[in-house]
Amino acid sequence: MKEGPDIARIGTLIGDPARANMLTALIGGKALTATELSQAAGVTLQTASTHLSKLEDGGLIVQRKQGRHRYFTLADAATGALLETIMGFAASRGHLRYRPGPKDPALRKARVCYDHLAGDFGVRMLDSFVCRGEIETDGENLSVTPKGYAQFEAFGIDLSRLASNRRPLCKSCLDWSERRSHLAGTLGKALLSRMFDQGWARRSDDSRAVLFTPKASENSCCNFRSAPHN
């Protein structure tokens, strides 16, 4: 018997169309019920429960109980990053399941990737940080510069606390629609949370699209238009 990580099991779990649709629905970071996930997958509630049990046993999702209700979320940020990478790889190979619909422009512009900003605006935000010398990049490796520390602290983000987290402070995440990197890690999460808290952006009610308000243009962290974008 071969030894080592069982990637075949992960591939089987993600490869089922119904389970793939469930995982895609959860990549926005929201906790969803089995009923909501059955609708996303296009299967009955009973079938959805079987799929959810397999995903939970495989370590891809976890469930949370709130009173009589059960909600499901992705297990962690690593799961979200894995799914986003697979989506980017599939898109780069032309493996698309449907023609772009009315909601696609909003998702391509700005969306939640588990807990950080993705899409055109996510890529532009990282570009702007690099252009202003606040983040340095060496291939896929990202690091915050002294100038960046000062700017992010002034923005209301406690980098010392974030740096003590087991998750990376800065992480490059391949954007499936832009085919370029956006900012993940604890800093990426903190920036998106700060935007929501300050009323500069909000989540769409019916998708993982992020909608920005006029207030966003007044803040350097949301200066997407001035960032270089190839």
pLDDT tens-digit readout, 59-96: 999 998 877 788 999 998 889 889 988 887 887 787 77
Alpha-carbon torsion 217, 220, 224, 225, what sign?
positive
pLDDT score, position 17: 93
Q: Is residue 48 part of a domain?
A: yes
Looking at the fold, whether 111 and 189 belong to one and the same domain comes out as yes
Q: Same domain, yes or no, for 40 and 114?
A: no
Binning pLDDT at 50, 70 and 90, where does residue 103 land?
low
pLDDT at 96: 72
| Same domain, yes or no: 52 and 122 | no
Number of structural domains (the chain) is 2
Q: Specify whether 159 is located in the same domain as 195.
A: yes
Residues 67 and 124 in one domain: no
Residue 155 has pLDDT above 80, yes or no: yes
Burial readout 43-67 (b: 16 or more C-beta within 10 A, e: otherwise): beeeebeebbebbeebebbeeeeee
Query: Is 89 inside any structural domain?
Result: no
Q: Select the more confidently predicted residue: 62 or 5.
A: 62
User: How large a percentage of the chain has pLDDT more than 70?
Assistant: 90
Judge if 46 and 124 occupy the same domain. no
- The predicted pLDDT at position 183 comes to 93
Average pLDDT rounded to a whole number, residues 130-149: 90
Residue 142 pairs in a beta bridge with: 137
pLDDT, residue 221, reads 66
Is the confidence at residue 180, as pLDDT, over 60? yes
Report the CATH number at residue 49. 1.10.10.10
50 falls within a domain: yes
Does residue 137 lie within any of the structural domains? Answer: yes
Residue 113, in any domain of the structure? yes
Determine, yes or no, domain membership for 153: yes
More confident residue, 101 or 163: 163
Instruction: Round to the nearest angstrom and report the end-to-end CA distance of the chain.
Output: 48
Lowest mean pLDDT across 78-92, 96-110, 200-214 = 96-110
Residue 95 covered by a domain:
no
- For residue 203, pLDDT over 80 is answered with yes
Question: Which amino acid would we find at residue 75?
Answer: A
Range of the domain at 111: 102-222
Q: Which of 75, 91, 117 is the last residue of a domain?
A: 75
**230 has a pLDDT exceeding 70:** no
Give yes or no: residues 69 and 106 share one domain.
no
Whether the pLDDT of residue 167 is over 70: the answer is yes
